[in-house]
A = this chain, B = another copy of it.
Amino acid sequence: MTVIVRPARPGEEGDIVRLIRALAIYEHEPDAVKISEEALRGHLFNDHPRIFAHVAEAEGRVVGIAVWFLNFSTWTGKHGLYLEDLFVEPEMRGAGVARALFKALAEEAKARDCPRIDWAVLDWNELGKGLYRKLGAWHNAEWEPWRLDGAALKALQD
């Protein structure tokens, strides 16, 4: 089986949203996905995109996705790649699709002079973490993710 990884093209928003949903189901959050194909299209395909997607294609079908954007480090003074979503269809696992997606992202990082790829994984997701460890990635455990949203965010806006 040949797997091709390449930047997503206009018209593939449906496949991407399908796999975003499949990932959310895997993450036990089936109702979390509010994004529409139209909104995704507007974000991905414009003159100055702030988000990007790669797809993995096998036998003419999209079987995996990586959705990412550029973050920034005030220490390095450089952008990094932030991987928001990575997903490979369950029936396609074990064939190197996720690794091929990471390889494409690593090449994007090189082309953009980004010294890091960062992402977040659910603490119970040992399947994901096993793959990440094989790639040589590490859990940046001393930094805690914090969030302000909902009523607390609104309170600051009044």
A-to-B contact residues, CB < 8 Å? 20, 24, 29, 32-36, 39-40, 43, 48, 50-51, 67, 69-77, 79, 82, 84-85, 102-103, 106-107, 109-110, 115-124, 129, 132, 135-149, 151-153, 155-157
Per assembly, the copies of the chain total 2
Q: Is the CB of A34 within 8 A of B76?
A: yes
Q: Is the CB of A146 within 8 A of B138?
A: yes
Closest beta carbon of chain B to A133's beta carbon, Å: 9
Chain B contacts for A35, CB-based, 8 A: 74-77
Chain B contacts for A156, CB-based, 8 A: 102-103, 106-107, 135
Scoring A76, A142, A145 by chain B CB atoms within 10 A of each residue's CB, the highest score goes to A145
